[in-house]
């Protein structure tokens, strides 16, 4: 239990550093943020009052404290594009992205590890070579192009699936597949090599010397140990997935955070950009925290030693 | 052909894939094992002895190896004789465990790190018998008690990393016994263990064999272990059987030249009990003549009250505990003298050696070399101070940069200390290679092209390149095969004769220590508990730990086989202590001329 | 038993690599792509920016092997020129990120102590941002454009290399041959130069070749969402974005640039895989 508590505490400094980074982000922007907020054709007076209302006339450390305080209360500022509170703008887009990433992560993790382990058990045979060829192909495939190919086939030509938007669960199919391909490929390659490494370990030989059935040797002794490094990588790959979501949402006109980010950059809507970077980073950190704990569950040495 | 009582291997050949075609690693091997009999399969590395064991259990199938010819006849519980070479995978699986079980060399890696010990034993039971998990767990508990694991009920729930190497090897034995096998194959089961733990495990194996009547195929390179345990011996070299016979026959009247040379290279503890001086091995061209190389005068090295501790910190950088690796150690070495530092793993002997060359930073104390304090602040900046003491490492391969030629490695100290210039460097490298008995063209080779013994010679040549006065040999011969080990020991001794070198010889091998040293220091839990002339310490040990250590050494002479070992099943306590819990270290008491012993309690046991 | 022939570690590496035919083939393709990019002005049949309103959205033909886009520009010529952009993004960012990361990793691993802690915390923070997000943040700060994409991708490669090299450095620092050097009295700078850097370098090179592929992918993705190369630049990702409106109408607009990205990235990945395997076999 102490282990999990420690991991939780250990994440705090990183979160702190991330908040400083995100806070500093707007400060180093070219131009005067007050003028940006006030609008291009605002008078000097309007700019000055905007500066005051934003607290930009206070010392920098006080600005930071106020920023953190406000963020914790859910006050992330006002979108300079729509004039709505940023929190509302983001909240509307949060769920579609969550569903998209979870669906992608789910199938990619399952398929990736399973294919990897399967290829590992067939090491050197044709099944292994085909699986790894497909994996390296998946790794090299530009997600946005894959999206186009899918839309072309299933929407334009066959008319089975909607081209974009998030109207039904059916519309989740193509985006989540597209998003997960790269991650599945990475996990397949990695879990194969992790399994091959473990399969050469002495304790696997011990397991066979006990006369255990091959299925138990592979799953209980092999895969169980191979999963430990795979789990860590899964956490890191979640970052790839969040990044990939930005592109895939653009391809499939998905009403999520990624497209919002791209639009906000186009309109230089800095409060929204800032909040999004904070939110996505926090989400990434949170996922990795969970993964870290899962790592502890899988690896008793880490859990009991620390 | 006669039918076997238990196991009969006939004309077995095994090959592995190589760069071109295949390499045969076992050729035309025949041997038999009867119920209740212990057959030792002896050979040096690469002799094919481990591969043979994998062939019998057909665990070979899961690697690149392949059985090319021969038969492995085995009589099972029902009396049916089967040829294991021809059995299919499923029936082999059914045989592994209830009929044939194995114990492996590496207890550290042979257990699944993420599975509780109880489950690892129980799964072997459940697989082959019609009983449930809870019943199997109860049986696992009995097995742990059978292999004398203290507090067995609690150990069932632990993971392998929580117990010591010796305990893990007992767990391995428990797993092997789980399905009551009729043939037990032990592949170097004690090689990775300390000598006292080895004695405990060997005694356990002997008892189990006597009680259960299992046949035992024991694979080892250690002639001492063979003499202790075996009924019959099969000697292998290069994949072939060179000699077979009863244990008394092999040790008393070996026929084959290889067996003779192997036995000549095995150090026998007690063979120099009559002389105070070291003597090389009697392998041509050396003769086993005692050599007197110690020069009178001021000691070359003086270590005073040296303390090296390691902090164990938690994730937040807070001090959790300290490893007391070296505690208040005092020792002197005379010019031309060899002081042996002995003890078991974790006793701090390597840390002491590393502290002297400042690979570790001592916390306090004094190291005076050739009249100069080498721990002073200005010492760090002065590479000249490093020159006088040189280190020879255990693993000859990893001590040489794999990307650099042998010549470059030997030249590095010459260049660093500017001992020669220009072409003279190359001449000096050639000279050094000849000095350690290697051809000069080896300068252009890479470490991976050399054998272990050749590599270690290169390591010694590099140490000599600095023109040192003192060599610290840290288990420098431990990784080498018996015959190579004897050659390298002889080389070190010849160098001492020619160059008047002093040597701190760090070793766990008491028999080798007897050969090389003038004086012996015994370390236990970071402290020196006994130090004195070699003859005095080995023939009349005064400290309880020294006695225990010496009693555990297997003697390669079946005539001196001990019926019952005076070794209990206790383990060496950990040198890890709470941050402010410093151990007491009282001055040693003189019990004979130059012979000092600790009379204060060390680590609770002594 | 035959006498062992003398082989250097580098020779051993090449011997193993030579056996990996797919990796070698990928190496040849990479070389070809680089040559095509260098000689783009000579090889491209048309001016990549020249519009021809008499030949818009034409499918592949003898005159236009890969067809034309909505302005009548020759797609093959644009792909050939676009290779320059993608290769620049991939090579420069992987190299810059690798260089800075390697330096940081060496310092961190060698120095240890608070230097190590500080640098690794910095990497932790960089790692706390998903890669593309960091790149997007950089582009959002500096404004869209290929040059900024290069730096953006380089920045998020830095912590990857830093961690990798730090690990290798720390392992090599404890390696017996480095310790042997210390007992001899070899100064730290020479230990670093002769023993540690050469030990870490192969891993860095292998990783760089794998990194080039993903850098090209990210660069193209950023251009695709409008943050990278701006029109009328013949960047492959931007070309895909252009062709999007004609999905189902003129598929060659998206087919050929997509294929180009795929082939280039695949070649770098297969090559990197081969290098890695040849390397790790030598280390075993």
Give the CA radius of gyration of chain B: 26
Query: Of C1, C8, C185, which has the smallest distance from its Cβ to B387's Cβ?
Result: C185
Whether the predicted pLDDT of C3 surpasses 60: no
Whether the predicted pLDDT of C126 surpasses 80: no
Domain A92-305 has CATH 3.40.50.720: no
pLDDT at B605: 59
* Interfacial B residues in 206-265 facing C (CB < 8 Å): 238
Domain ranges of chain B: 7-114+182-264, 301-540+573-598
Query: Of A203, A213, A214, which has the smallest distance from its Cβ to B110's Cβ?
Result: A203
Structure tokens given for B224: 């001492």
Q: What is the pLDDT of residues B402-454, one digit of tens each?
A: 888 899 999 999 988 889 988 899 999 999 999 999 999 999 888 888 888 89
Domain-located, residue C7: no
Candidates B378, B345, B309, B340; CA nearest to B576 is B309
Whether the predicted pLDDT of B290 surpasses 70: yes
Q: What is the mean pLDDT of residues C260-276?
A: 91
Whether residues A300 and B159 touch (CB distance < 8 A) is answered with yes
DSSP code of A267? T
Whether residues C130 and A139 touch (CB distance < 8 A) is answered with no
| Torsion sign, CA atoms B532, B537, B542, B543 | positive
Q: How far does chain C reach from its first CA to its final CA, in angstroms?
A: 22
Q: What is the pLDDT of residues B125-157, one digit of tens each?
A: 999 888 899 999 999 999 998 888 888 888 899
With contacts defined as CB-CB under 8 Å, which chain B residues touch A306?
Answer: 314-315
Whether the predicted pLDDT of C13 surpasses 80: no
pLDDT at C200: 86
Q: What is the mean pLDDT of residues B368-372?
A: 88
With contacts defined as CB-CB under 8 Å, which chain B residues touch A208?
Answer: 59, 62, 93, 96
Candidates A143, A147, A132, A151; CA nearest to A193 is A132
Concatenated DSSP letters of B236-303: EETTEEEEEEEHHHHHHS--SHHHHHHHHHS--TTTTTT-SS----S-TT--------PPPSS-SEEE
User: What Å distances lie between residue B455 and B405, B411, C183, CA to CA?
Assistant: 12, 15, 18
C184 touches chain A (CB under 8 A): no
My answer on whether omega of the bond before C232 falls inside 30° of 0, hence cis, is yes
Average pLDDT for chain C: 83
Q: What is the pLDDT of residues C56-68, one digit of tens each?
A: 777 788 777 878 8
The model's confidence at residue C212, banded by pLDDT at 50, 70 and 90, is: very high
pLDDT at B567: 65
pLDDT at B2: 52
Q: What is the mean pLDDT of residues A142-168?
A: 84
pLDDT at B378: 61
Whether the predicted pLDDT of A306 surpasses 60: no
Whether residues C136 and A156 touch (CB distance < 8 A) is answered with no
Residues facing residue B236 across a β-bridge: B241
Whether the predicted pLDDT of A76 surpasses 60: yes
Whether the predicted pLDDT of A38 surpasses 80: no
Q: Which of B107-116, B555-564, B565-574, C245-254 is most confident?
A: B107-116
- For chain A, the residues whose C-beta falls within 8 A of a C-beta of chain B are 6, 10, 201-203, 205-214, 216, 220-221, 224-225, 228, 298-301, 304-306
Q: What is the pLDDT of residues B397-406, one digit of tens each?
A: 888 988 888 9
Whether the predicted pLDDT of B585 surpasses 90: no
Residue C254 CA to residue C268 CA, distance in Å, equals 22
Concatenated DSSP letters of B182-232: SEEEEESTTTTS-HHHHHHHHHHHHHHHHHH--EEEEEES-HHHHHHH-SE
Proportion of chain C above pLDDT 70, given as a percent: 93
pLDDT at B323: 87
Task: For residue A214, give the chain B residue with the closest CA.
Answer: B93
Of B256-265, B572-581, C110-119, least confident by mean pLDDT is: B572-581
Instruction: Give the containing element (helix H, strand E) for B66.
Output: strand B66-75
pLDDT at C252: 85
Task: For residue A137, give the chain C residue with the closest CA.
Answer: C266
Whether the predicted pLDDT of B46 surpasses 60: yes
Q: Which of A99-103, A283-287, B150-154, C64-68 is most confident?
A: A99-103
Residue B109 CA to residue A203 CA, distance in Å, equals 6
Residue A128 CA to residue A147 CA, distance in Å, equals 27
Whether the predicted pLDDT of B521 surpasses 80: yes
The CATH number assigned to the domain holding C123 equals 1.10.3720.10
Proportion of chain B above pLDDT 70, given as a percent: 96
User: What Å distances lie between residue B62 and A84, A156, A209, B108, B603, CA to CA?
Assistant: 65, 51, 11, 21, 46
User: pTM score, two decimals?
Assistant: 0.82
pLDDT at B31: 92
Query: Of C6, C185, C195, which has the smallest distance from its Cβ to B401's Cβ?
Result: C195
pLDDT at C284: 36
The structure tokens 């036995």 sit at B263
pLDDT at C261: 93
Q: What is the mean pLDDT of residues A32-56?
A: 74
Structure tokens given for C84: 């320059």
Domain-located, residue C108: yes
Domain-located, residue C151: yes
Q: What is the mean pLDDT of residues A187-193?
A: 92
The model's confidence at residue B374, banded by pLDDT at 50, 70 and 90, is: confident
CATH 1.10.3720.10 intervals, chain A: 92-305
Of B169-178, B282-291, B344-353, least confident by mean pLDDT is: B282-291
Domain-located, residue C235: yes
CATH superfamily assigned to domain B301-540+573-598: P-loop containing nucleotide triphosphate hydrolases (3.40.50.300)
Average pLDDT for chain B: 88
Q: What is the pLDDT of residues B543-555, one digit of tens each?
A: 999 998 998 888 8
With contacts defined as CB-CB under 8 Å, which chain B residues touch A205?
Answer: 59, 62, 104, 110
Give the total number of structural domains in chain C.
1
Whether residues B393 and C176 touch (CB distance < 8 A) is answered with yes
The answer to whether A261 touches A271, Cβ cutoff 8 Å, is: no
pLDDT at B566: 60
The fold adopted by the segment(s) B7-114+182-264 is Rossmann fold (3.40.50)
The structure tokens 């290098």 sit at C275
Q: What is the pLDDT of residues A13-29, one digit of tens each?
A: 777 777 887 777 766 66
Q: What is the pLDDT of residues A231-274, one digit of tens each?
A: 888 888 888 888 888 889 988 989 999 889 888 887 778 788 88
- Domain B301-540+573-598 in the same topology as domain B7-114+182-264: yes
Domain-located, residue C115: yes
Domain-located, residue C263: yes
pLDDT at B340: 96
Average pLDDT for chain A: 84
A36 touches chain C (CB under 8 A): no
Residue B131 CA to residue B495 CA, distance in Å, equals 65
Domain-located, residue C118: yes
pLDDT at C282: 44
Phi-psi region of A124 (alpha: psi -120 to 50; beta: other; left: phi over 0): left
Whether residues A205 and B161 touch (CB distance < 8 A) is answered with no
The answer to whether B191 touches B222, Cβ cutoff 8 Å, is: yes
DSSP code of B583? P
Whether residues A281 and C129 touch (CB distance < 8 A) is answered with yes
Whether the predicted pLDDT of B474 surpasses 70: yes
Residue B518 CA to residue B534 CA, distance in Å, equals 5
Which domain range does residue C207 map to? 79-279
Q: What is the mean pLDDT of residues B231-236?
A: 94
A183 touches chain C (CB under 8 A): no
Disruptive mutation site among A199, A204, A206 for chain B (greatest number of B CBs within 10 Å): A206
Whether the predicted pLDDT of B294 surpasses 60: yes
| ipTM computed for the complex | 0.81
């Amino acid at each position: 239990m102490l282990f999990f508590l420690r991991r939780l505490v250990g994440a705090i400094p990183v979160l702190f550093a991330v908040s400083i980074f995100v806070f500093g982000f707007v400060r180093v922007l070219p131009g005067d943020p007050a003028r940006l907020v006030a609008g291009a054709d605002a008078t000097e007076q309007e700019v000055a009052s905007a500066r005051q209302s934003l607290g930009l006339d206070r010392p920098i450390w006080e600005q930071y404290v106020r920023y953190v305080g406000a963020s914790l209360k859910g006050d992330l500022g006002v979108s300079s594009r729509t004039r709505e509170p940023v929190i509302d703008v983001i909240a509307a887009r949060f769920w579609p992205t969550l569903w998209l990433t979870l669906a992608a992560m789910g199938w990619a993790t399952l398929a990736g590890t399973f294919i990897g382990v399967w290829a590992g058990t067939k090491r050197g045979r044709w099944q292994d070579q085909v699986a790894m060829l497909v994996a390296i192909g998946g790794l090299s495939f530009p997600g946005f192009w894959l999206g186009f190919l899918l839309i072309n086939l299933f929407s334009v030509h066959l008319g089975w699936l909607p081209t974009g938007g998030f109207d039904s669960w059916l519309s989740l199919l193509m985006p989540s597949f597209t998003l997960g391909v790269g991650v599945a490929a990475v996990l397949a390659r990695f879990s194969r090599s992790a399994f091959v490494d473990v399969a050469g370990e002495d304790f696997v030989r011990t397991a066979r010397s006990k006369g255990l059935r091959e299925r138990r040797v592979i799953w209980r002794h092999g895969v169980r140990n191979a999963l430990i490094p795979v789990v860590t990588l899964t956490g890191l790959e979640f970052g790839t997935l969040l990044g990939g979501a930005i592109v895939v949402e653009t391809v499939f006109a998905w009403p999520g955070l990624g497209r919002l980010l791209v639009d906000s950059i186009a309109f230089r809507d800095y409060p929204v950009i800032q909040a999004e970077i904070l939110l996505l980073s926090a989400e990434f950190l949170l996922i990795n925290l969970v993964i870290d704990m899962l790592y502890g569950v899988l690896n008793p040495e880490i859990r009991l030693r620390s | 052909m006669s039918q076997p009582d238990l196991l009969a291997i006939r004309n077995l050949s095994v090959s592995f894939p190589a760069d071109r075609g295949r390499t045969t690693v076992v050729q035309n091997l025949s041997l038999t094992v009867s119920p209740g009999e212990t057959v030792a399969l002896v050979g040096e590395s690469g002799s094919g002895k481990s591969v043979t064991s994998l062939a019998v259990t057909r665990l070979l199938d899961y690697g690149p190896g392949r059985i090319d010819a021969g038969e492995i006849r085995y009589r099972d519980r029902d009396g049916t004789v089967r040829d294991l070479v021809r059995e299919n995978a499923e029936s082999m699986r059914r045989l592994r465990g209830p009929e044939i079980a194995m114990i492996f060399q590496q207890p550290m890696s042979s257990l699944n790190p993420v599975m509780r010990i109880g489950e690892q034993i129980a799964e072997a039971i459940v697989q082959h018998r019609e009983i449930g998990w809870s019943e199997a767990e109860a049986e696992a508990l009995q097995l742990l008690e059978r292999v004398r694991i203290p507090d067995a009920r609690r150990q069932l729930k632990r993971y392998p990393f929580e117990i010591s190497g010796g305990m893990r090897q007992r767990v391995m034995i428990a797993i092997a016994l789980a399905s009551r096998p009729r043939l037990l194959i032990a592949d170097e089961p004690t090689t990775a263990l300390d000598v006292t733990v080895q004695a405990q495990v060997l005694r356990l194996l002997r008892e189990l064999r006597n009680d259960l009547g299992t046949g035992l195929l024991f694979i080892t390179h250690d002639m001492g272990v063979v003499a202790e345990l075996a009924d019959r011996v099969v000697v292998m070299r290069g994949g072939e059987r060179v000699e077979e016979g009863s244990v008394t026959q092999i040790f008393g009247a070996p026929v084959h030249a290889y067996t003779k040379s192997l036995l000549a290279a095995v150090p026998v503890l007690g063979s120099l009990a009559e002389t105070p001086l070291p003597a090389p091995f009697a392998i041509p061209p050396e003769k086993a003549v005692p050599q007197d190389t110690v020069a009178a005068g001021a000691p070359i090295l003086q270590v005073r009250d040296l303390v090296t501790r390691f902090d164990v910190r938690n994730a937040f950088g807070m001090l959790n505990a300290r490893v007391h690796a070296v505690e208040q150690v005092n020792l002197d070495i005379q010019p031309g003298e060899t002081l042996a530092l002995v003890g078991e793993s974790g006793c701090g002997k390597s840390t002491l050696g590393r502290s002297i060359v400042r690979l570790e930073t001592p916390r306090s104390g004094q190291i005076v070399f050739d009249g100069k304090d080498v721990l002073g602040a200005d010492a760090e900046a002065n590479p000249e101070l490093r020159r006088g003491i040189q280190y020879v490492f255990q693993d000859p391969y990893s001590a040489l940069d794999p990307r650099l030629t042998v010549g470059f490695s030997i030249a590095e100290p010459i260049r660093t200390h500017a001992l020669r210039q220009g072409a003279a460097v190359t001449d000096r490298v050639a000279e050094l290679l000849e000095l350690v008995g290697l051809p000069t063209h080896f300068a252009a080779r890479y470490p991976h092209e050399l054998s272990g013994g050749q590599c270690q010679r290169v390591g010694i040549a590099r140490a000599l390149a600095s023109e040192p006065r003192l060599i610290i040999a840290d288990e420098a011969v431990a990784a080498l095969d018996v015959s190579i080990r004897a050659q390298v020991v002889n080389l070190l001794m010849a160098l001492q004769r020619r160059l008047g070198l002093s040597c701190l010889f760090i070793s766990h091998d008491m028999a080798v220590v007897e050969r090389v040293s003038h004086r012996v220091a015994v370390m236990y839990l970071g402290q020196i508990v006994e130090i004195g002339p070699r003859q005095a310490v080995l023939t009349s040990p005064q400290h309880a730990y020294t006695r225990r250590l010496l009693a555990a050494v297997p003697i390669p002479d079946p005539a001196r086989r001990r019926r019952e070992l005076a070794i209990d099943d206790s383990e060496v306590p950990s040198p890890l202590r709470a941050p402010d819990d410093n151990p007491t270290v009282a001055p040693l008491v003189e019990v004979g001329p130059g012979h000092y012993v600790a009379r204060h309690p060390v680590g609770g046991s002594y | 038993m035959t006498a062992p022939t003398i082989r250097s570690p580098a020779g051993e590496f090449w011997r193993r690599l030579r056996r990996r035919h797919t990796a070698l083939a990928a190496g040849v393709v990479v070389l070809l792509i680089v040559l095509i990019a260098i000689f783009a002005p000579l090889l491209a049949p048309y001016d990549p920016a020249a519009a021809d309103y008499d030949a818009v959205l034409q499918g592949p033909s003898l005159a236009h092997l890969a067809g034309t886009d909505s302005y009548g520009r020759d797609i093959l010529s644009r792909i050939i020129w676009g290779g320059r952009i993608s290769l620049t993004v991939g090579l420069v960012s992987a190299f810059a990120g690798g260089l800075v990361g390697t330096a940081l990793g060496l310092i961190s691993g060698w120095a240890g102590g608070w230097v190590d802690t500080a640098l690794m915390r910095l990497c932790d923070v960089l790692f706390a941002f998903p890669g593309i997000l960091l790149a997007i943040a950089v582009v959002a700060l500096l404004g869209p454009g290929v040059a900024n994409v290069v730096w953006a991708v380089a920045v998020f490669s830095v912590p990857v290399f830093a961690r990798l090299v730090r690990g290798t450095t720390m392992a090599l620092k404890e390696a017996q041959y480095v310790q042997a050097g210390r007992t001899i009295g070899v100064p730290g700078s020479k230990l670093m130069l002769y023993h540690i850097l050469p030990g870490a370098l192969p891993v860095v090179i292998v990783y760089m070749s794998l990194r080039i592929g993903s850098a090209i992918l990210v660069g193209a993705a950023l251009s695709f969402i409008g943050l990278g190369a701006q029109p009328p630049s013949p960047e492959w990702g931007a070309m895909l974005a252009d062709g999007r409106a004609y999905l189902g109408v003129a598929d060659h607009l998206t087919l050929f640039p997509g294929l180009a990205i795929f082939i280039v990235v695949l070649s770098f990945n297969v090559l990197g895989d081969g290098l890695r395997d040849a390397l790790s076999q030598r280390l075993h």
